[in-house]
Amino acid sequence: MIIVAILMTAFAAMAQEGKTQVIDKVVAVVGKNIILQSDIESQYIQYRMQGSIEGSSSAMRCAILEELLFQKLMLNQAEMDSIVVTDAEVDVELNRRITELIGRAGSQEKLESIFNKTMAEIKDELRRLVKEKTLQDRVRADILNGVTVAPAEVKAFYRSLPDDSIPMVDTEYEIMQIVKRPPVSVDEKLAVKDQLYQIRKRILEGESSFSAMAVLYSEDPGSARKGGELGFTGRGEFAPEFEVVAFNLKDGEISEVVETQFGFHIIQLIERRDDYVNCRHILMTPKVPVEALEKAQADLDSAAMLIRNGDMTFEEACKKFSDDDSKTNGGYIVNPIEGGYRITISEIQELGEYPSFGEFKNLAFVISKLNVGEVSSPLPMTTNDGKDAFRLVMVKKKVDAHKATLENDYSRIQTWAMNQKNQTVIKNWIRSKAKKAFIRIDEDFADCDFQFQWQ
């Protein structure tokens, strides 16, 4: 997936910097951008920790330098094209990355322990990396703009592969589900809203600060420990109801209670910069009564019995009983990585690590125990929007591990063909731009066997 590999390497390298002494010097220059010996050594340490080093250490350092040359060449192009990334845009991406890292580490405190730095220090050091990465992404997007692969190209790509080079595809599953989302009672919603109004009143009367109340009461773990602060965020990234209110507040103003799919909020605007806002919020979520969860479980028990007895197909039961959007496609779970209905256990496990893909959490274990056509017992789950629910799952089809074929794996082969075409386009771009840019490489790397003629 998921998209964080380059920055994760940089973050891990930062965590190592305090433990490794490097005599620093400039080893390469691309336009106005420099590459330091420490940049290479930090990445080399990370690769060594991951066991990713193949061949000699000098060859690996040369490969790292060449990748850094490409990155700096893109930064040089961004400057020539006058591509601008605003501070607000950087803040948005930085906060998103920090939230993701906190989720992976388990808590802000654990992340600070890994880096041996405060959160403010981590953000300060990562800001440059995030800005450079954003600029590089803009340039890369421009390079690849309009690149597509036609069906004939996909077939030609596949037929060009030597038989012993055709990739293996892990065992894939087509999975169906029936989800029951128990409703929250009106009384529970009113109780939560009243509690938030009381909190708002205490803040307005000066009894406590917004940030202190967020730490005590907010049920958003990512922001609560930061006093409810969300960081600069652009339009389209909040729930619609939240966004309308947030972008209409004045600095320091506190909203009325706002309802979204995640629960109820009160919002305080810290600062607005053009189309970005930095807010604090306190989130409280009405809880589904135990009785409603028990009824959902019982309803699914009945549905499972109808399916097992042959009185109803899984698809028919899905249309009748499911409260989930997947009912519109017969209950199939869509693979958000590759598209389509087929998904591997490793992809399920990867997705299950992210709160926004709650439906995949703990699913891998269940699927690995089911036979094709077998219906599970009702299983507790957390939906993608964080709600408690129950579901039935069934493996509709299982495709054993195999060499990829056009008939069975077209979408995956299309992705591989697209990746190869993108690489060709990027290589041609490097060859063209490297001839025109000012590039100097230290003589210590004169023996490197680079892919491209950099000087």
Q: Go through the domains of the chain in sequence order and give each one's CATH number.
A: 5-148+419-445 (1.10.4030.10), 172-181+288-400 (3.10.50.40), 186-284 (3.10.50.40)
441 strand-pairing partners: 28
Higher pLDDT, 98 or 241: 241
Instruction: Taking the CA atoms of 86, 92, 93 and 95 in sequence, report the sign of the dihedral they define.
Output: positive
Q: Are 381 and 359 in contact (CB under 8 A)?
A: yes
Query: What pLDDT is attached to residue 195?
Result: 96
Query: What pLDDT is attached to residue 228?
Result: 94
User: What is the enclosing helix (H) or strand (E) of 265?
Assistant: strand 263-273
Distances (CA, A) of 280 to 98, 210, 228, 254, 274: 16, 8, 5, 9, 18
- Residues whose CB falls within 8 Å of the CB of residue 454, separated by 6 or more in sequence, listed in order: 66, 69, 434, 439, 441
Q: What is the pLDDT of residues 34-57, one digit of tens each?
A: 999 988 988 888 777 666 556 678
How far is the C-alpha of 119 from the C-alpha of 205, rounded, in Å? Answer: 31
Span 102-116, mean pLDDT? Answer: 78
How far is the C-alpha of 47 from the C-alpha of 264, rounded, in Å? Answer: 44
pLDDT at residue 1 greater than cutoff 80? no
Task: Measure CA 222 to chain center.
Answer: 15
Span 279-300, mean pLDDT? Answer: 93
Span 366-381, mean pLDDT? Answer: 95
Span 197-214, mean pLDDT? Answer: 95
Q: Are 71 and 137 in contact (CB under 8 A)?
A: no
Residue with tokens 């790292």, as numbered in its chain: 64
Residue with tokens 């038989």, as numbered in its chain: 163
Query: What pLDDT is attached to residue 443?
Result: 94
Go through 48-63 and write b for each residue having 16 or more CB atoms within 10 A of its CB, e for each that does not: eeeeeeeeeeeebbbb
pLDDT at residue 11 greater than cutoff 60? no
Q: What is the pLDDT of residues 69-101, one digit of tens each?
A: 999 999 999 999 999 998 888 888 888 888 777
How far is the C-alpha of 266 from the C-alpha of 256, rounded, in Å? Answer: 6
Per DSSP, the three-state class of 70 is helix
Read off the tokens for 159: 């037929």
Whose CA is closest to 68, among 424, 435, 442, 436? 442
Query: What pLDDT is attached to residue 400?
Result: 93
Query: What pLDDT is attached to residue 99?
Result: 76
Residue 97: how many other CB atoms lie within 10 Å = 20
Q: Are 410 and 150 in contact (CB under 8 A)?
A: no
Query: What pLDDT is attached to residue 23?
Result: 61
Q: What is the pLDDT of residues 302-358, one digit of tens each?
A: 999 999 999 999 999 999 999 988 888 889 999 988 778 999 999 999 998 877 788
Task: Measure CA 344 to chain center.
Answer: 18
Residue 30: how many other CB atoms lie within 10 Å = 25
Query: What pLDDT is attached to residue 141?
Result: 96
Distances (CA, A) of 319 to 85, 153, 314, 387: 47, 39, 9, 21
Read off the tokens for 72: 């700096």
* Backbone φ/ψ region at 274: left (φ over 0), alpha (ψ -120 to 50), beta: left
Per DSSP, the three-state class of 244 is helix
User: Which DSSP state fits 325?
Assistant: G
Higher pLDDT, 210 or 273: 210
Residue with tokens 């409703």, as numbered in its chain: 183
Q: Give the lowest-confidence range in 20-29, 67-76, 175-184, 432-441.
A: 20-29
Q: What value does the mean pLDDT of the chain take?
A: 89
pLDDT at residue 275 greater than cutoff 60? yes
Whose CA is closest to 91, among 42, 130, 146, 36? 130
Query: What pLDDT is attached to residue 333?
Result: 94
Q: What is the pLDDT of residues 125-172, one digit of tens each?
A: 889 889 999 999 999 999 999 999 999 999 999 999 999 999 999 999
